[in-house]
């Protein structure tokens, strides 16, 4: 069944969408889209390290992104620079270092476009296992920290005062972000991972009145985007990442029609 | 004394500074089971800061805090819900503790907002939202309630009813309450212990003692003091605008 590259890509995409759905909601709620960008840009460095030392790409990306995330938290404590400046600093310097390192790796044939925008031909059975096992672990951990993470997203001080330990939940969530980037890099490509996180969630916000619904619609939106995107990628021979993101944008635009309706109803 | 085990939270000489400025310093107080302790003081006197020290929200503090309970209900002074997060009243009620539907209904109707259960939090008025905040805090049947101006924006009759409710809750649940309030009438009638803050503890004691206190009078004016007392004596110090204390 998994002999066919397209079936592999489809299952990989579905696995990714199941995880980006709920995670993406938190990215939107907590205003972390630029943070997601920073982590995914740093993923290039992770990939080059994987090639240099013949490591598994997902593992290497996960480690590098986690280190960058922890480094960011330290920087935030030590300097007075605003958060977005620090994010920009880390995003672009880690991307630059990644590209410089690629320059040195002349002995390896590099598909840089595939890295940046995703390549469905590149998904192996091994990748499928990493996506599904890794994805299941991410969802399990997210479920465990859901209450403190959600409560502190609504109001940090309430969560802290009522004993939910929001700082720990936030740190764990940061690691989950690094993990989702690591497992989805082959499918979506590192430049577009944040789009996969926020566009279905933003679409879901337009048609939801409570958090559970938003998570559900975000997952459904992600799944539809992956399926439509991959089929059109196959049909028109386009890169998988951009195709998936374009599909999710179409869904987002459709969801705007619904919100327009409800605003008119109110007036 | 034998009352040690009834103490829910105890501050000893506690203080908190931000950007090299002390928001409040040298605060000692304790909240016992079944007692209402009220913090009063002008704007910027460190009332909310003191509450946050007691709750453990501020960690890098001077002095000591001992909290002897984990069942805490908190009504913060300000909560803003972002549009990006769709949240109904019923979702908000179970934010920090899972509750049965009956318990949600009961708490909401106690504060008079049972009909708002399925409304979106963002569409509530200020007073309605305040009632929901209070309902959420009491619904988990806490041992310690910290209420930071819980009736702000609530209409006049509602205000009285909510203060009565707070008093009732304190009796029924036998929980300790740390209350921040601007309403001196209420403070003086329903409170067991008053702490008057102005960057430090100006005075504290039973409502009557505090009303008689000269520093209280200096802060709130003659009229405030006449709510309970016409007691008078000489000022021994005044507060400058910078918050310094000058001896007369």
Quickly state the pLDDT bin for A257 (edges 50, 70, 90).
Answer: confident
Shortest CB distance from A160 goes to which of B57, B85, B92?
B57
Q: Which residue has the tokens 């920290």?
A: A145
Instruction: Give the best residue of B50, B85, B116, B144 to mutate against chain A (max A CB count within 10 A).
Output: B85
> Which residues in chain A touch residue B180, judged by CB atoms under 8 angstroms apart?
none
**Under an 8 A CB cutoff, do A29 and B84 touch?**
yes
How many CB pairs below 8 Å do chains A and B form together? 69
What phi, psi does A13 have (nearest 5°)? -65, -40
- Residue A154 Cα, gap to closest chain B Cα (Å): 7
- Residue B86 Cα, gap to closest chain A Cα (Å): 5
Q: In the CATH scheme, what is the code of domain B4-71+142-150+172-247?
A: 3.40.50.300
**Under an 8 A CB cutoff, do A161 and B95 touch?**
no
Quickly state the pLDDT bin for A57 (edges 50, 70, 90).
Answer: confident
**Under an 8 A CB cutoff, do A210 and B79 touch?**
no
> Which residues in chain B touch residue A155, judged by CB atoms under 8 angstroms apart?
76, 79, 95
What pLDDT is attached to residue B235?
Answer: 45
Residue in chain B closest to A150 (alpha carbons) equals B95
Give A1-55 pLDDT, tens digit per residue.
677 888 999 999 999 999 999 999 999 999 998 999 999 999 989 988 888 888 8
Residue A140 reports pLDDT greater than 80: yes
* Regions of chain B where pLDDT drops below 50: 1-3, 229-235
Average pLDDT for residues A62-91, to the nearest whole number?
89
What pLDDT is attached to residue B227?
Answer: 60
Residue A76 reports pLDDT greater than 90: no
What pLDDT is attached to residue B236?
Answer: 53
Domain ranges of chain B: 4-71+142-150+172-247, 78-141
Instruction: For residue B70, give the DSSP letter.
Output: S
**Under an 8 A CB cutoff, do A157 and B52 touch?**
yes
Shortest CB distance from B74 goes to which of A29, A31, A162?
A162
Shortest CB distance from A210 goes to which of B72, B91, B96?
B91
ipTM computed for the complex: 0.85
Residue A169 reports pLDDT greater than 90: yes
> What are all long-range contacts of B10-14, with beta carbons under 8 Å and residues at least 24 apart?
B10/B64, B10/B65, B10/B66, B10/B68, B11/B50, B11/B53, B11/B54, B11/B63, B11/B64, B11/B65, B12/B63, B12/B64, B12/B65, B12/B66, B13/B62, B13/B63, B13/B64, B14/B50, B14/B53, B14/B61, B14/B62, B14/B63, B14/B64, B14/B65
> Which residues in chain A touch residue B121, judged by CB atoms under 8 angstroms apart?
none
**Under an 8 A CB cutoff, do B72 and A153 touch?**
no
What are the structural domains of chain A? 5-191 (1.10.3470.10)
Identify any residues that bridge with B180 across adjacent strands, giving them in sequence order.
B39, B148
Give A220-253 pLDDT, tens digit per residue.
999 999 999 999 988 998 888 899 999 999 999 9
Average pLDDT for residues A60-84, to the nearest whole number?
88
């Amino acid at each position: 069944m998994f002999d066919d590259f397209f079936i592999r890509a489809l299952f990989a995409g579905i696995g990714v969408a199941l995880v980006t759905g709920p995670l993406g909601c938190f990215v939107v709620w907590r205003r972390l889209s630029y943070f997601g960008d920073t982590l995914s840009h740093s993923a290039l460095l992770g990939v080059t390290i994987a090639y240099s030392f013949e490591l598994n790409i997902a593992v290497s990306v996960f480690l590098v992104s986690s280190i960058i995330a922890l480094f960011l938290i330290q920087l935030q404590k030590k300097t007075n620079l605003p958060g977005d400046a620090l994010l920009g600093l880390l995003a672009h310097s880690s991307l630059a270092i990644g590209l410089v390192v690629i320059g040195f790796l002349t002995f390896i044939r590099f598909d840089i476009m595939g890295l940046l925008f995703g390549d469905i031909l590149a998904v192996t059975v091994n990748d499928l296992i990493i996506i599904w096992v890794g994805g299941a672990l991410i969802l399990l951990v997210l479920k465990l920290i859901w209450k403190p993470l959600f409560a502190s997203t609504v109001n940090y001080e309430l969560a802290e005062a009522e004993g939910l330990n929001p700082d720990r939940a936030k740190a764990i969530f940061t690691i989950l972000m690094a993990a989702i980037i690591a497992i989805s890099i082959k499918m979506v490509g590192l430049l577009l991972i944040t789009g996969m996180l926020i566009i279905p969630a933003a679409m879901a916000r337009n048609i939801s009145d409570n958090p559970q619904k938003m998570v559900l619609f975000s997952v459904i939106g992600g799944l539809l985007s992956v399926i439509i995107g991959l089929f059109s990628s196959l049909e028109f021979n386009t890169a998988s990442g951009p195709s998936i993101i374009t599909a999710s944008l179409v869904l987002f635009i459709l969801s705007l029609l619904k919100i327009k309706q409800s605003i008119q109803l109110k007036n | 004394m034998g009352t040690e085990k009834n103490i829910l939270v105890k501050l000893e000489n506690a203080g908190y500074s931000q950007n090299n400025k002390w928001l409040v310093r040298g605060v000692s107080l304790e909240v016992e089971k079944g007692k209402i302790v009220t913090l009063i003081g002008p704007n910027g006197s460190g009332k909310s800061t003191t509450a946050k020290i007691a709750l453990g929200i501020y960690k890098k503090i001077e002095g000591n805090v001992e909290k002897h309970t984990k069942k805490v209900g908190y009504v913060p002074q300000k909560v803003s819900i972002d549009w990006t997060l769709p949240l109904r009243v019923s979702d908000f009620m179970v934010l920090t503790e899972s509750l049965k539907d009956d318990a949600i209904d009961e708490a909401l109707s106690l504060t008079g907002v049972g009909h708002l259960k399925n409304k979106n939090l963002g569409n509530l008025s200020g007073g309605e939202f305040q009632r929901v905040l209070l309902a959420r805090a009491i619904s988990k049947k806490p041992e310690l309630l910290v209420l930071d101006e819980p009736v702000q924006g609530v209409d006049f009759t509602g205000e009285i009813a909510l203060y009565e409710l707070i008093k009732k809750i304190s009796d029924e649940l036998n929980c300790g309450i740390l209350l921040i309030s601007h309403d001196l009438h209420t403070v003086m009638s329903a409170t067991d212990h008053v702490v008057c803050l102005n960057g430090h503890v100006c005075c504290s004691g039973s409502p009557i003692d505090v009303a008689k206190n000269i520093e209280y009078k200096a802060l709130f004016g003659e009229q405030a003091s006449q709510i309970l007392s016409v007691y008078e004596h000489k000022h021994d110090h005044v507060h400058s605008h910078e918050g310094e204390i000058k001896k007369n």
